[in-house]
Chains A and B, each alone.
Chain A
Amino acid sequence: MKKLSWLLAVVALIASGTYLFVYIYRWEWHRALLVGLLFVATLVGLCSALVLRRLGKLEERVLSLAPDRRPDGALERLRAAPAETRPFRWLSPDALDRTHIFIPVLLGGGFVVSGIAWLIETAAGNSARAGVEQQLAADLQAIAFPATSLVPTDAELLAGGDDFADDASLRVLLGPAATRALR
């Protein structure tokens, strides 16, 4: 398969190079450009394959010449070695003057400042709410609707009709809205 690939690449290179000359000779420049691109692409691919093949051979030769000096038992040595566990290393005294202490301090400082701000907001809201509500109620009282209705009902109009228009006692019973309407 590899030999077939090499053969195809060489045939493509020779054919595209030949046609490049032929098309230029015939003044067919567009065809020559297309075939020239194919020629260059094939040439680059072939040269890359040659270089890679040479590098592969060199690697094989180096590996075959070098003795295998790697000792066995890497897993056993790893398990036998003492495990070093040092959590929160940035809090150790020898690291306090380093810049990596800055981020944990910044995070902790932000948490504390946020708590203080929440406390202040809660206290201010609780103390101010009672006075604000009283002031608002007083302001709303001035523009509140009257306790009696603004217009008389049909029954009140009927009761204060022609025959009883001058009856003072009836006016007291009907209220101010009916009295205004009857005037």
Chain B
Amino acid sequence: MKRVIAWVVVAAAAAVGLLLLRAELMTVDVPQPEGSYTDVVVAVEIREDEAEREEMIRGLVSTCRLLVNADVAEDSFTVVEDSFTKVEEGAVFAFRLRPGLDEFDQRELKGCLRDTRVQHLLADVRLLETVTPADGTTDR
């Protein structure tokens, strides 16, 4: 009897987990106001030649932005300084995406950037912020 109860509990937990996961992963399209944009800052670690760092992260960004239907704003891809964390120089990049991403797209983009898509490249998302100029609010 105890074994049956244990199996029922495990099955119920798995079913609830799957339902919650399904609810979380549902694709919901929240329209963003005109002129909104999303700023992204990522810290990058690579196991290749340092000269290829920017090329590799650019490749990853160009792949991930297709998932959320957004474009990298022209000349927005820059190397930024990070004096707060122990990251080597030239390893933190910032770029801007247009149009701005809603909450679900932000989650998808963050997962794509942090995933192991590119071999020998690990990216950590430091900032992912959507700015809507109309009311000046930000959506992190």
The yes or no answer to B110 lying at the interface (CB within 8 A) is yes
The yes or no answer to B115 lying at the interface (CB within 8 A) is yes
The yes or no answer to A24 lying at the interface (CB within 8 A) is yes
Once bound together, how far apart are the Cα atoms of A15 and B107, in whole Å? 23
Residue of A nearest to B116 (CB): A30
Once bound together, how far apart are the Cα atoms of A24 and B26, in whole Å? 12
**Measured between C-beta atoms, what is the minimum distance from B111 to chain A in Å?**
3
**Hey, which chain A residues are within 8 Å of B108, CB to CB?**
27
Chain A interface category by residue count: 10 to 19
- Please determine whether B21 and A31 come into contact, CB atoms closer than 8 angstroms: no
The yes or no answer to B58 lying at the interface (CB within 8 A) is no
The yes or no answer to B126 lying at the interface (CB within 8 A) is no
**Hey, which chain B residues are within 8 Å of A88, CB to CB?**
none
- Please determine whether A26 and B21 come into contact, CB atoms closer than 8 angstroms: no
**Measured between C-beta atoms, what is the minimum distance from B96 to chain A in Å?**
21
The yes or no answer to B29 lying at the interface (CB within 8 A) is no
Q: Residues 2-26 of chain A: 1 if any B CB is under 8 Å from the residue's CB, otherwise 0?
A: 0000000000000000000100111
The yes or no answer to B17 lying at the interface (CB within 8 A) is yes
**Measured between C-beta atoms, what is the minimum distance from A30 to chain B in Å?**
5
**Hey, which chain A residues are within 8 Å of B111, CB to CB?**
26-29
- Please determine whether B21 and A27 come into contact, CB atoms closer than 8 angstroms: no
The yes or no answer to B89 lying at the interface (CB within 8 A) is no
Q: A27-B107, A27-B108, A27-B110 are in contact. Are A21 and B17 (CB under 8 A)?
A: yes
**10 A-B pairs (CB sep. < 8 Å):** A21-B17, A25-B21, A25-B25, A26-B114, A27-B107, A27-B108, A28-B116, A29-B115, A30-B117, A34-B116
Residues of A near any B CB (own CB < 8 A)? 21, 24-31, 34
A26-B110, A27-B25 provided; 12 other pairs, C-beta below 8 A?
Answer: A21-B21, A24-B21, A24-B25, A25-B21, A25-B25, A26-B107, A27-B112, A27-B115, A29-B111, A29-B115, A30-B117, A31-B116
